[in-house]
């Protein structure tokens, strides 16, 4: 088959915007996915939140760029991807959470994040009806927001194709082909494709892809559930994140979408390791208790559906980006830890510049923070 400039394994939250970033630079990428169309893996399980509110400089910088791309997409390209800039709000009821969040301000402000501590009255204005007993205040970052994962993914796909990117669906990569210590392409269930650069963007399948060349990437998926309600009269715009733990869960978070539905999720504790994406009977009662306790006016709201997806986790809660031990020309953009939607567009541009040799100072910070060979000593505080 004809040689491409780059082969991308996975047409999801990272692979599809990477195809676009490469095509915009005049390269000819080939994107291969076993699903029927773009975004049919974990992308469609995302609830849509997009934040630069992180504790890690690499995540802050990558997500700030993603927000620039999402927030200007309709103006630049005409597609309504349901961008909603409502911000992220962390209401605080515990002294320890206040210390954690305010302790992050120095690094967040140093890397351009607009965030500050606000008083209880401001939290109550941002989230009308929120429980005020014990409310100490909280943080608010107005630049964050939400987007439709399906509409955004399809918008990236259409533009990438219009610029020459080729997508092959219903095709499974079986082996990364190598010769003399470098990649030469991939072998699939339909044949062999040649390229001097291959990017592993396979989401929860990243470890299996790496194993075809003897790599053991520290990416292990776990399951998270989410849900969506009927639409109601809009009364808040911000994503609300409650850091307090509860039986069966660590934090939980929710927002009201452009269609006025409340979308919600929680972080299971202990984690549910594995690839099971069947809905459970315990999620909705667990998250409903938390929602109603924090925002009692939601108590009569009817839930339309719930679903379950995978977070490809790493030991420290941050992605693996760049070259790992292994054949030259094999790059990785994996281990998004459930944040592929918000990281994808920004990281795509960094990976594209890594391939074309046009790295910026910001790219170098991102690549250093997400280096696959790092020691995984810490944990991202807001992962």
pTM over 0.75: yes
Please say whether the beta carbons of 235 and 128 come within 8 A.
yes
Answer yes or no: is pLDDT of 283 > 70: yes
Answer yes or no: is pLDDT of 382 > 90: no
Chain segment 286-305, per-residue pLDDT in tens: 999 999 999 999 999 999 99
Would you place residue 380 in the very low, low, confident or very high pLDDT band (cuts 50, 70, 90)? confident
pLDDT for 378 equals: 81
Please say whether the beta carbons of 291 and 82 come within 8 A.
no
Please say whether the beta carbons of 287 and 301 come within 8 A.
no
* CB contact set of 26 (below 8 Å; sequence gap of 6+): none
Which alpha helices (DSSP H) does 78-201 contain, by range?
A: 95-102, 105-110, 120-126, 149-162
CATH 3.60.150.10 fits 6-65+149-218+316-369, yes or no: no
CA distances to 86, 138, 327, 382 from 95, rounded to whole Å, are: 26, 11, 49, 17
Neighbouring-strand partners of residue 49: 146
- What does the alpha-carbon distance between residue 19 and residue 40 come to, in Å, rounded to a whole number? 16
Would you place residue 2 in the very low, low, confident or very high pLDDT band (cuts 50, 70, 90)? low
Chain segment 108-164, per-residue pLDDT in tens: 999 999 999 999 999 999 999 999 999 999 999 999 999 999 999 999 999 999 999
Start-to-end CA distance of the chain, whole Å, equals 42
Backbone angles phi, psi at 314, to 5 degrees: -115, 170
Give the mean model confidence (pLDDT) for residues 44-49: 97
Query: What does the domain layout of the chain look like in residue ranges?
Result: 6-65+149-218+316-369, 85-143+220-313
Query: Three-state SS for 100?
Result: helix
Chain segment 160-179, per-residue pLDDT in tens: 999 999 999 999 999 999 99
Backbone angles phi, psi at 345, to 5 degrees: -60, -40
Percent of the chain with pLDDT over 70: 99
- What does the alpha-carbon distance between residue 333 and residue 321 come to, in Å, rounded to a whole number? 5
Domain 85-143+220-313's class?
alpha beta
Instruction: State how far Cα 250 lies from the chain centre.
Output: 19
b/e per residue 200-221 (b: at least 16 CB within 10 A): bbbbbbbbebbebbebebbbbb
Chain segment 75-103, per-residue pLDDT in tens: 999 999 999 999 999 999 999 999 999 99
Q: How many CA atoms lie within 13 A of 76 on its CB side?
A: 10
Q: Which is higher by pLDDT, 299 or 378?
A: 299
């Amino acid at each position: 088959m004809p040689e491409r400039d780059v082969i991308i394994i996975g047409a999801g939250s990272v692979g599809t915007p990477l195809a676009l970033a490469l095509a915009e630079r005049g390269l000819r990428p080939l994107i291969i996915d076993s699903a029927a169309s773009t975004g049919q893996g974990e992308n469609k399980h995302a609830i849509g939140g997009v934040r630069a509110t992180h504790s890690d400089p690499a995540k802050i910088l990558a997500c700030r760029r993603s927000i620039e791309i999402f927030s200007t997409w309709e103006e630049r390209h005409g597609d309504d991807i349901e961008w909603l800039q409502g911000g992220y709000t962390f209401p605080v009821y515990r002294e320890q959470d206040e210390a954690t969040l305010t302790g992050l301000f120095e690094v967040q402000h140093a890397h351009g994040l607009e965030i500050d501590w606000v008083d209880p009255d401001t939290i109550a204005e941002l989230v009308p009806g929120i429980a005020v007993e014990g409310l100490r205040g909280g943080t608010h970052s107005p630049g964050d927001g939400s987007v439709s994962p399906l509409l955004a993914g399809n918008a990236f796909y259409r533009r990438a194709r219009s610029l020459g990117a080729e997508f092959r669906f219903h095709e499974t990569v079986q082996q990364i082909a190598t010769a003399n210590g470098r990649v030469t392409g991939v072998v699939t269930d339909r044949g062999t494709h040649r390229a001097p650069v291959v990017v592993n963007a396979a989401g929860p399948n990243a470890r299996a892809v790496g194993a075809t060349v003897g790599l053991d990437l520290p990416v292990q998926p776990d399951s998270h559930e989410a849900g969506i309600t009927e639409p109601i009269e809009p009364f808040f715009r911000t994503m609300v994140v409650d850091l307090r733990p509860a039986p069966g869960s660590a934090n939980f978070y929710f927002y009201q979408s452009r269609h006025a539905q409340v979308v919600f999720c929680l972080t299971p504790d202990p984690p549910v390791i594995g690839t099971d994406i069947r809905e459970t009977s315990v999620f909705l009662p667990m998250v409903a208790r938390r929602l109603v306790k924090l925002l009692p006016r939601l108590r009569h709201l009817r839930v339309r559906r719930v679903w379950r997806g995978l977070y490809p986790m790493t030991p420290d809660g941050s992605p693996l980006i760049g070259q790992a031990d292994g054949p030259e020309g094999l790059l990785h953009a994996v281990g998004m830890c459930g944040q592929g939607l918000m990281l994808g567009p920004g990281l795509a541009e960094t990976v594209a510049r890594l391939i074309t040799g046009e790295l910026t100072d910001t790219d170098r910070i991102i690549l250093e923070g997400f280096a696959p060979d790092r020691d995984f000593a810490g944990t991202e505080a807001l992962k």
